[in-house]
């Protein structure tokens, strides 16, 4: 069996850029720095890194090796590896869970990326001149009330994503990430350097990196596990598809190490982009999702060079959002190609088109349909709960159990041949005895919220 369309990454660089692009999303850029600052700064980062390397790295390696060994979309890859190991092809349903998670996330995520693109347009046309807290709040409320406006920008984001997928792995994804990810890194470094001179940098560094071990408790560790698991994009099918495109000559172990370090580095660097402006202008660092759309425009209006900063900031966010969308859509697209033998251009149009239709419900849930809910949750809340609290931890748990208990040890060793015997033994121990119970805890805590 060959990967969908017989595609493979042309180099380790393009694979890494695509994988880091998939892992680095909007949540990394606003949520990780905020959670870090609120939960002990550098102390939380140490706990987070322990969780990343103890839970995130093992399962990410498992996804990539299953994808490469199975050579197909996630359901096919799981079924193929199961068959090779004398197991039931019903394991394909675990791959299907990843696809469902990716599709569910994308329906809601596409709308948020639409907000980012809309705010990029606002930054270019107005630079948020004269915006104060009341104006910023009213402007974001107006965005949520404007269904047609949200739909327009959601479709723009999906069109960009669809165009990249439509062009294929080499001509689309590789070309896009080879430009977009270096651009993201350059923009983040440039904006962080700007903040160093503009003010608020020292306060941000203190808030992010001063260790406060008194804030580290069981709840903090749970947050670190959850952030580690969700941050690097495991159990969303994307990494398994990217693994299917991975040539045997590229080391999974080294690649995963680079992906995780880059993902964490971007998240921490994001803190040095966002929070100096917040502190320098006396704004609330705990504004959550509203930080991007309600708090920061006020800072842009007040800071010297705010126009340029705001434009570059929303370009950076747009890149992070689009590259994550590419990974989510490509996983479903690869399955359609694999399962129904559709040509890529048809499967890409089908995936993007159906996401666009469902995103209408997501958009209307912010206004017209906001009063309709199930168990106190509207459509977006239900989609978020279903994907993040059920599908991702459960899917990750089953991937770990499969790789640790149902695959022959020699098969996983063959895929991870670049690892030394000792490091492989550590991975094998973690994937069998540490990752499953940790994800079971996340799953139980998630559904009992």
| pLDDT over 60 at 159, yes or no | yes
What are the tens digits of pLDDT across the range 255-304?
999 999 999 999 999 999 999 988 888 888 877 767 899 889 999 998 88
Q: Mean of the pLDDT values across residues 387-392?
A: 92
CA diameter of the chain: 67
Query: Among positive and negative, which fits the CA dihedral 56, 58, 61, 67?
Result: negative
Record the tokens describing residue 359, joined without a space. 């995103």
Query: What is the mean pLDDT of the segment spanning 250-256?
Result: 96
Confidence of residue 39 (pLDDT cuts 50, 70, 90): confident
Do 82 and 76 touch, CB atoms closer than 8 A?
no
pLDDT in tens, 170-208: 999 999 999 999 999 999 999 999 999 988 999 999 989
Average pLDDT over residues 27-55: 89
- What is the pLDDT, as a whole number, of residue 226? 82
Residue 4 has pLDDT above 80, yes or no: no
How many other CB atoms are found less than 10 A from the CB of residue 166?
Answer: 18
pLDDT at 249: 94
Looking at residue 22, its pLDDT comes to 96
Q: What is the chain's mean pLDDT, rounded?
A: 93
Domains along the chain?
Answer: 4-447 (1.20.1740)
pLDDT at 291: 84
User: Quick one: pLDDT at residue 34?
Assistant: 83
Confirm if 104 and 383 have CB atoms less than 8 A apart.
yes
Question: For 396-437, what is each residue's pLDDT tens digit?
Answer: 999 999 999 999 999 999 999 999 999 999 999 999 999 999
In this predicted structure, the answer to whether residue 98 has a pLDDT above a threshold of 50 is: yes
Judged on CB neighbours under 10 Å (0-12, 13-18, 19+), 372 is exposed
- pLDDT tens digit sequence for 321-338: 999 999 999 999 999 999
pLDDT at position 347, please?
A: 96
pLDDT higher than 60, residue 162: yes
Q: What is the pLDDT of residue 155?
A: 98
Inform me whether the pLDDT recorded for 5 exceeds 60. Answer: no
Whether 1 has a pLDDT exceeding 70, the answer reads: no
Q: Is pLDDT of 2 > 60?
A: no
Three-class SS of the chain: CCCHHHCCCCCHHHHHHHHHHHHCCHHHHHHHHHHHHHCCCHHHHHHHHHHHHHHHHHHHHHHHHHHHHHCCCHHHHHHHHHHHCCCCHHHHHHHHHHHHHHHHHHHHHHHHHHHHHHHHHHHHHHCCCCCCHHHHHHHHHHHHHCHHHHHHHHHHHHHHHHHHHHCCHHHHHHHHHHHHHHHHHHHHHHHHHHHHHHCCHHHHHHHHHCCCHHHCCHHHHHHHHHHHHHHCCCCCCHHHHHHHCCCCCCCHHHHHHHHHHHHHHHHHHHHHHHHHHHHHCCCCCCCCCHHHHHHHHHHHHHCCCHHHHHHHHHHHHHHHHHHHHHHHHHHHHHHHHHHHCCCHHHHHHHHHHHHHHHHHHHHHCCCCCCCCCECCECHHHHHHHHHHHHHHHHHHHHHHHHHHHHCCHHHHHHHCCCCCHHHHHHHHHHHHHHHHHHHHHHHHHHHCC
Is residue 349 a contact partner of residue 94, using CB atoms and an 8 Å limit? no
């Amino acid at each position: 069996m060959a990967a969908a369309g017989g595609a493979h990454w042309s180099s380790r660089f393009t694979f890494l850029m695509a994988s880091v692009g998939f892992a680095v999303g909007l949540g990394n850029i606003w949520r990780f720095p905020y959670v870090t600052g609120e939960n002990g700064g550098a102390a939380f980062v140490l706990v987070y890194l322990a969780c990343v390397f103890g839970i995130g790295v093992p399962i990410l390696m498992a996804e990539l090796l299953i994808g490469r060994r199975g050579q197909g979309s996630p359901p096919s890859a799981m079924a193929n590896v199961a068959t090779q190991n004398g197991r039931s092809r019903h394991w394909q349903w675990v791959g299907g869970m990843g696809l469902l998670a990716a599709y569910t996330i994308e329906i809601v995520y596409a709308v948020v990326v639409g907000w980012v693109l809309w705010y990029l347009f606002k930054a270019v046309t107005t630079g948020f001149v004269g915006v104060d807290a009341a104006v910023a709040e009213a402007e974001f409320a107006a965005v949520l009330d404007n269904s047609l406006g949200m739909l327009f920008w959601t479709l723009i984001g999906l069109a960009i994503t669809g165009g990249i997928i439509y062009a294929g792995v080499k001509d689309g994804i590789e070309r896009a990430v080879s430009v977009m990810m270096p651009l993201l890194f350059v923009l983040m470094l440039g904006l962080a350097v700007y903040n160093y001179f503009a003010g608020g940098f020292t306060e941000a560094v203190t808030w992010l990196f001063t260790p406060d071990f008194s804030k580290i408790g069981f709840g903090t560790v749970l947050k670190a596990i959850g952030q580690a698991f969700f941050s690097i994009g495991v159990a969303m099918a994307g990494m398994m598809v990217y693994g299917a495109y991975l040539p045997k000559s590229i080391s999974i172990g080294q690649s995963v190490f680079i992906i995780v370090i880059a993902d964490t580095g971007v998240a921490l660097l994001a803190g040095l982009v966002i929070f100096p402006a917040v502190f320098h202008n006396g704004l609330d660092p705990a504004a959550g999702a509203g930080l991007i759309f309600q708090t920061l425009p006020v800072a842009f209006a007040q800071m010297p060079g705010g126009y340029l900063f705001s434009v570059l900031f929303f370009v950076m966010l747009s890149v992070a959002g689009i590259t994550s969308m590419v990974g989510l859509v490509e996983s479903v697209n690869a399955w359609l190609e694999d399962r129904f033998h559709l040509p890529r251009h048809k499967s890409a149009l089908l995936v993007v088109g159906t996401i666009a239709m469902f995103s209408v419900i997501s958009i209307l849930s912010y206004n017209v349909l906001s009063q309709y809910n199930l168990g106190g949750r509207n459509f977006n809340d239900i989609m978020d709960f279903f994907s993040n609290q059920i599908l991702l931890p459960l899917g990750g748990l089953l991937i770990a159990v499969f790789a640790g208990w149902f695959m022959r040890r020699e098969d996983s060793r063959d895929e991870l041949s670049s690892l030394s015997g000792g490091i492989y033994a550590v991975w094998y121990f973690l994937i069998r005895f540490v990752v499953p119970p940790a994800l079971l805890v996340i799953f139980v805590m998630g559904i009992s919220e």
